[in-house]
Amino acid sequence: MGFCTLYRRVQIHTGERFRTSAHPGERSRYHQSNTVERHSYRVGGIMVWAGISLGSYTDLHVFQGGTLTGVRYRDAIIDPYVQPYAGAIGNDFNLMDDNARPHRAVTVEEYLEGLGLER
């Protein structure tokens, strides 16, 4: 039957991550045929950001690894990219995001308020 196809299932966590389980029960979970040696090295990743509006868009910006925090979001995205873009759009500019924690951090909220930018 191959690789325990009868018991295989996929668990989707967020749409970006998934895990495949191939064990029918607790007794066979750690059986040698069901385990794979793996080395985990945290080499980082990339973060991408782009802005769009009805009549225009920004370039796609790529940032090297690390975790996105409120401070990094403010310093690496809002200050160099959002603020000039908002100035080009004018008084009708309204910043929209996906409510991720870094986007809603107190430091970001205070910074946007100081710039006079609305959400």
User: Which tens digits make up the pLDDT trace of 29-80?
Assistant: 777 777 777 777 666 678 888 888 887 888 888 888 778 899 999 999 999 9
Residue 82 burial by Cβ neighbours in a 10 Å radius (0-12, 13-18, 19+): buried
- Mean pLDDT along residues 5-26: 46
CA dist 1 and 84 (Å) reads 60
**pLDDT > 60? residue 1:** no
**Residue written as tokens 């196809």?**
5
> What are the phi and psi torsion angles at 106 (to 5°)?
-60, -40
**pLDDT > 90? residue 110:** yes
- pTM here is 0.59
**Residue written as tokens 């385990």?**
35
